[in-house]
Amino acid sequence: MPRSRASVALLLIDWINDLEFDQGDRILKQALAAAKATAALRRRAKQAGVPVIYCNDNFGKWRSDFRATLDHVLKDGVRGQPLAELLAPDEHDYFVLKPKHSGFHSTSLDVLLDYLGVRTLILTGIAGNFCVLFTAQDAYMRDFKLVVPGDCIASEDEADNRHALEHMAKVCKADTSPSPAIDFISLTGDSVAGRPRSRRSEDLPC
């Protein structure tokens, strides 16, 4: 079976989260609007044939997996349940568990992105000033083009979220325009949404 190829991927960082910790209620208050915007963006990404990758913390539970975390957040009456209900994955999505803040640190994300042929990353998630920021910095060092829609990330404090966006825009050269401004056809180079772009010979795997 030929491998799927995609020049762009949408990352959902730590959205599947019970938020059962100090200040979790503050993140939830900020995150609900961002989750709704991310859900709309996810629908558009899937319509355009852009892969969706859930990059989620394992919260120190080394015997768990992503499905166990999802079941916990959806079924155990935790604070983060509304976010998971908006952003629950389907069978076509990818997922990567991470042990620390960055989606790249000690994970298979590099390998997955290389397998898919991704060069542009759209980052969404919580918290904007920690896990999204750290992932953006690691992505920038790997020469990915970055899009971090400002309405699709959230932090405990609005000022911290704003500062994180400013940092990613200035240092990581990220486009932080709101998600409705994202044009998947332009990003992927497609003439028709969902149609794989033709690749030059030097882009093809050996």
Mean pLDDT of 31-43: 98
H, E, C per residue of the chain: CCCCCCCEEEEEECCCCCCCCCCHHHHHHHHHHHHHHHHHHHHHHHHCCCCEEEEEECCCCCCCCHHHHHHHHHHCCCCCHHHHHHHCCCCCCEEEEECCCCCCCCCCHHHHHHHHCCCEEEEEEECHHHHHHHHHHHHHHCCCEEECCHHHEECCCHHHHHHHHHHHHHHCCCECCCHHHCCHHHHHCCCCCCCCCCCCHHHCCC
Q: HSE-up of 122 (CA within 13 Å, CB side)?
A: 28
**Alpha-carbon span 184 to 191, nearest angstrom:** 10
The pLDDT value given to residue 43:
98
Q: Is the pLDDT of residue 201 over 70?
A: no
Mean pLDDT of 51-66: 77
**Alpha-carbon span 56 to 65, nearest angstrom:** 10
pLDDT for 97-135, tens place per residue? 998 899 999 999 999 999 999 999 999 999 999 999 999
Q: Is the pLDDT of residue 142 over 70?
A: yes
